[in-house]
Structure 1
């Protein structure tokens, strides 16, 4: 395989599919600034439920999650079982 697979058309289609759903961050539960510059810490990034370094599939829709850039970076390559539970945005 030549080049970076994250620059390819299949990966961009997956990112566009996930972005179109306008989901909140799966890690913290807060809304994502979909219109923000890509370098902003609260902007959208595609995160993988099972990190690629741990055998997760790059182009699997079931492995794709919407996340803030900051949340995705702070999670690193930990698995979903090691992450903090999503907090509710309201007190019930």
Structure 2
């Protein structure tokens, strides 16, 4: 049996989000939508489907309102945080 991220509803959502051609919602830079297949798996600048409310925090896997376009790198670095990282202090306290 296929996992939830291999199911038809999830693949359909991914295709629809990719077709929008939006910039990365996390960093704001353009995503290289020309990367597909193996190249997309290797490139940190390729498209991935991200979830505004992470799945580990109760976000819905196939809700279009929870879907966002992101770079593979940004999606991985974000993890399950829900807000932008805080700026570091100028010195150690």
Q: Shorter chain as normaliser: what TM range?
A: 0.7 to 0.9
TM-aligned CA deviation for residue 26 of structure 1: 0.1
Residue of structure 1 in register with 2:13 after alignment = 14
Residue of structure 2 in register with 1:48 after alignment = 51
For the residue of structure 2 that corresponds to 1:38, the secondary structure is helix
TM-aligned CA deviation for residue 77 of structure 1: 0.4
For the residue of structure 1 that corresponds to 2:68, the secondary structure is strand
Equivalent residues, number: 82
1: distance between equivalents of 2:8 and 2:40? 19
Q: For residues 53-88 of structure 1, what are the alpha-carbon distances to aligned partners after superposition, in whole Å with 9 as ceiling and x for unaligned?
A: 000000000000000000000000001xx215xxxx
Residue of structure 2 in register with 1:23 after alignment = 22
Residue of structure 2 in register with 1:73 after alignment = 76
TM-aligned CA deviation for residue 3 of structure 1: 3.2
Q: Which structure has the greater CA radius of gyration?
A: 2
5+ residue gaps, structure 2: 86-93
5+ residue gaps, structure 1: 85-92
TM-score normalized with structure 2 length = 0.83
Q: What RMSD, in angstroms, separates the aligned Cα atoms of the two structures?
A: 1.4
TM-score normalized with structure 1 length = 0.84
Whether 1:61 aligns to 2:60 is no
Q: For residues 19-59 of structure 1, what are the alpha-carbon distances to aligned partners after superposition, in whole Å with 9 as ceiling and x for unaligned?
A: 00000000000000011222210000000000000000000
